Structures are given as structure tokens and as C-alpha cells.
Amino acid sequence: MLLVYNAQLRHGIVLAPMSGYTDWPMRILCRRYGAELAYTEMISAEGLVMSTRNTLKLLEHPKEDRPLVAQIFTSSPEFGALAAEMIENQGFDGIDINMGCPVRKVVRKGAGAALMRDPRKALKIVKAVMSKVQLPVSVKIRAGWDAGSINAPEMAEILSSFGISAIIIHPRTRVEMYTAGSRWDLIGEVKRRTSIPVIASGDIRTQEDVKRVKQIGADGIMLGRVAIGRPWIFREILGHGPPGPLEVRDVMLEHLDMLCMTYGERRGMLRMRKYVSMYIKGFPGASMFRKKVNSIDNAAFLRDSIHQFFLGQA
């Protein structure tokens, strides 16, 4: 049992925040297969305070999409605090502060993984956010900026001494982006330096990986890329078999419907394209179908094509 963000988790396997992917439709599907907690895509604190339409949309979620943590990114304690206030009464179970995003646009402004190089600023943001809300606050960090400045254990110790509720570690450096393997050994070091729950992220794909990372010291396990177009990975990791073709088809159709409901038919269909190629991976004819889907430009035709594709697979 893991108590985090005031939520009781039985196995502690959760869905990672992924910009461009983990909107409520993906979260709902992953929860159905066993994800016990989920995060929004990262949300710009500045965008939230300015109430830009696309940013506000990231907060939307149905009632059953809980427990749910809103993740913000910023380099400003003031904007962080204002954004946290806006999030407080909107049906969330916690706020996570992103200190791991490696994308140039984000780090150039001093946010995301840039905060790994600026622990004082990181701490100011954490304090400002915590001073404004009752919600539990966590921080998601990387290993460090580069191989020569690995400081995740120190960061975890400093931040946790100020009362954050959990630390999430993706043990790669900013410079490594998503290449190189995750440095799982760092998870143990982070755990030894803090007394709060540690959630591990990075290359965890199988039951064996989960076992190993828990042995190293993780309290919770975060699945990211492996869950894109594969929401049943949670069920598989919990010991069940993979879905048959008809179950895959039905999940795809439901996913498309939810995306169309959220973004409208056209944007929903466009957003579905990137999941389709992951859903159909490994099926005969997948590469032809992938090409076809990229030229489809209406949701009804995409629905029909998914039906057709699976007629030959049963």
C-alpha cells in the first residue's frame, strides 16, 4: 500500500505525464486497465494565469479521472503560486512541479530541467506553491543537467526537507534527453536521502522491470511511452495476458470517440493518428495501414478504416 497525494494506492503503478498524449481520454483508458494515479500533461503556469484557451483545456477532466495530479512548469515562484491557486479547487489531488523537461523552449526560459542547475530557484518555486495551497505538492526531477553534474539525490534531500509529498525521478540527465538508458541506481540514492515516497520513471516496461526498480528502492512506478497505444500494459504488468484483436479495435474506436468529444471531430481525428501507429504495432499490414491513416482526414472514415483493418485480424 502506498499513500501519496492523500490517495491510497494498492500497487503504486501510475501513468506518467506526457505532453501531447496524456489528456483525459488516454488517462481514462489507462485507469481502466489498472493505472492507479495519473498526471496531466505539463501546464505552463504563465499560460494558466493568462487563461489562454489551450492551457485551460489541459485542466479539463471528467469526474472519474481521479486521483489526478496537475503538473505545472515555470521559472517564476510568483506565477507558480498563482497557477497553484487556480488549480486548487478544480478537482485535483495534487500539484506536481516539472523540473525535468529537457525541451529547449522550456529550459531556455529557466523552467523544467533548467531548475536542476538552479536549486535555489527550484526551492523558491516549491515554497511559493506550497504557501498558497492545501493540496499535496510533488516535484519531478531528472538525474541532473549533464553527466558531470548529477545532483538528483541532493535535490531530493533539499526539496523534501521543505515538506513536499513525493519526489518523482526520471534518472537521465537533461543532456541525455531520451537517449541512453535510465540510471536506475540513482533511484536508490534518492530514496536513501529522503523519507517521502519516491516514484520512479524511465524505461520501466515489464513486470521484471517493476520488480527490479522496486528492489532498488522505488515506492511507486511510473509508466510513460510504453502506455501510448497500449493502455493494457498496466493489466499486463499486473500479470494478465495481452488483449486480442477485437479488444484492441474496441479500445481504438472508443479512444477516437473520446478524442473527438474533447477536441472536435477534425482535431480529435488528427490527434488519434499518433496513437494509431502504436495501437497496431505488430499486426500484419500495420505499416500499410499507418500510411493510409496519415492520409485520412475525417473521423468517420478513420472509424470505418479501423473496422476494416480488424476484419482481417480476428
Ligand X SMILES: Cc1cc2nc3c(=O)[nH]c(=O)nc-3n(C[C@H](O)[C@H](O)[C@H](O)COP(=O)(O)O)c2cc1C
Shortest Å, Cβ 282 to ligand X:
19
Going from the C-alpha of 48 to that of each of 72, 167, 181, 272, the distances in angstroms are: 9, 23, 34, 25
Nearer to ligand X, 28 or 299 (CB): 28
- β 38-39/68-73 pair status: parallel
Question: Environment class of residue 54 by beta-carbon count within 10 Å: exposed (0-12), middle (13-18) or buried (19+)?
Answer: exposed
Q: Give DSSP secondary structure letters for 24-91.
A: HHHHHHHHHTT---EEPPPEEHHHHHTT-HHHHHTT---TTS-SEEEEEE-S-HHHHHHHHHHHHTSS
Cα–Cα distance for residue pair 144/257, rounded to 1 Å: 40
Nearer to ligand X, 16 or 84 (CB): 16
Secondary structure (3-state) at 305: helix
Shortest Å, Cβ 119 to ligand X:
18
Nearer to ligand X, 255 or 303 (CB): 255
Nearer to ligand X, 41 or 265 (CB): 41
Shortest Å, Cβ 280 to ligand X:
19
Cα torsion angle, 77, 82, 87, 89, sign: positive
Shortest Å, Cβ 71 to ligand X:
6
Selection from 51, 42, 99, 49 nearest residue 71 by Cα: 42
Going from the C-alpha of 310 to that of each of 258, 279, 289, 304, the distances in angstroms are: 20, 12, 11, 10
Cα–Cα distance for residue pair 181/129, rounded to 1 Å: 32
Nearer to ligand X, 233 or 299 (CB): 233
Per CB under 6 A, residues contacting ligand X are 16-21, 41-42, 71, 98, 100-101, 140, 170, 201-204, 223-226
Q: Which residue is nearest to ligand X (CB)?
A: 224
Annotated catalytic residue 260: no
Maximum Cα–Cα distance for the chain, whole Å? Answer: 58
Shortest Å, Cβ 134 to ligand X:
23
Nearer to ligand X, 112 or 309 (CB): 112
Shortest Å, Cβ 250 to ligand X:
25
Catalytic residue among 42, 43, 95, 101: 101
Residues carrying an active site annotation: 101
